[in-house]
Amino acid sequence: MSDIPQGLVSFDVGKAAVTMNVDADVYPLQALYGAAFIFIDRCYVFIDKPAQGQFRVTLGARGTVEDEEALRRLVGEFANELLTCAWRHQITQDNRMLIEAVTMQAIGGAAGSPSLDDLANFDFSDDAFEDPLGIAQSWEEKHGKKAGAGEDAT
Amino acid sequence: MIELRFHRDIYAGESVDEALKVFERFATWEREQTDDAWVVRCTHDDAAREKKVANELANYALGLTIRRGGAT
């Protein structure tokens, strides 16, 4: 495993625990929650906030630890999971509007078909949608022969 | 005695209380509130047992907090 940057992680083999400092700007709390939840059955997880914009995660082994390497593996796996969770969180944030729109459509569809009153009150005056690329045009409208000056249009 | 400081931005107070109810019979507990943390002190005659119970309580409180969607 590659070396972990200095100052980021500290090992305590005697207490079978490893502490990792996490930058809140890089890893949001929701990502930290996600990674912690996965590790909660493997080790003891404690999250602290020593300063604004910084989290401190302490992972404690459930049993005794032979050497520092075991703790190094544990924190390495946690860091990988944290990165995955942070990336998933970012994707969710980026697609939030889309997810909400799809969900609203699904819920709207589940409400059933509109009543006659709803249809009677529906405002049909507006254009259904804009069609700047002419997608809704028929083939004849788009590619059909134009009636020339000398041609018989009938 | 082991003192656990659950930061209010990270742990939900309800989750800490619920965890305390579950682990009440395994040790002697004291609780206190500060501006930024829920403080819990665990006492048990057996030091190893004390550490284990305190760690389990912290895990339980964190799990409940995550399940409810966070501290707020």
Which CATH number belongs to the domain containing residue A55 in this structure? 3.30.70.60
The answer to whether residue B46 is domain-embedded is yes
Q: Which two three-digit tokens encode residue A112?
A: 């059933």
CB A55, CB A97: distance < 8 Å: no
Give the nearest chain A residue to B9 (CA atoms). A49
pLDDT at site A154: 47
Q: Residue A44 domain-assigned?
A: yes
Write down the residue that tokens 């520092």 correspond to.
A68
Closest Cα partner for B62 from A61, A36, A79? A36
Residue B3 DSSP SS3? strand
Residues A43 and A40: their CA atoms lie apart, in Å, by 6
pLDDT at residue A97 greater than cutoff 80:
yes
**Which residues in chain A touch residue B57, judged by CB atoms under 8 angstroms apart?**
none
Residue A86: pLDDT band by 50, 70, 90 thresholds? very high
Q: Is residue B48 part of a domain?
A: yes
- d(CA B22, nearest CA chain A) in Å: 17
C-alpha–C-alpha distance, residues A113 and A136, integer Å: 25
Query: What domain count does chain B have?
Result: 1
The answer to whether residue B33 is domain-embedded is yes
Q: B52 versus A5: which is more confidently predicted?
A: B52
The nearest CA of chain A is from the CA of B51 a distance in Å of 10
Residue B53 is part of which domain span? 2-67
CA gap B51, A87 in Å, rounded: 34
Of B58, B66, B70, the CB nearest to A46: B58
Dihedral of CA atoms B4, B6, B11, B13 in degrees, nearest 10, equals 90
Which ipTM was obtained for this model?
Answer: 0.93
Q: Give the angle A41-A42-A48 at the CA atoms, nearest 5°.
A: 85
B19-59 per-position pLDDT tens digit: 999 999 999 999 999 999 999 999 999 999 999 999 999 99
For residue A86, what are the domain limits? 9-96
Asked, for residue B72, whether it belongs to a domain, the answer is no
pLDDT of B37: 95
Residue A38: how many CB atoms within 10 A of its CB? 16
For residue B42, the number of C-alpha atoms closer than 13 Å in the C-beta half-sphere is 24
* Contact assignment for B58 to A49 by CB distance below 8 Å: no
Q: Mutate which of A41, A42, A49 to test chain B, going by most B C-beta atoms within 10 A?
A: A49
Number of domains within chain A = 1
More confident residue, B50 or A127: B50
Burial of A102 (0-12, 13-18, 19+ CB in 10 A): exposed
What's the pLDDT score for residue A128?
Answer: 64
The answer to the question of residue A35 being in a domain is yes
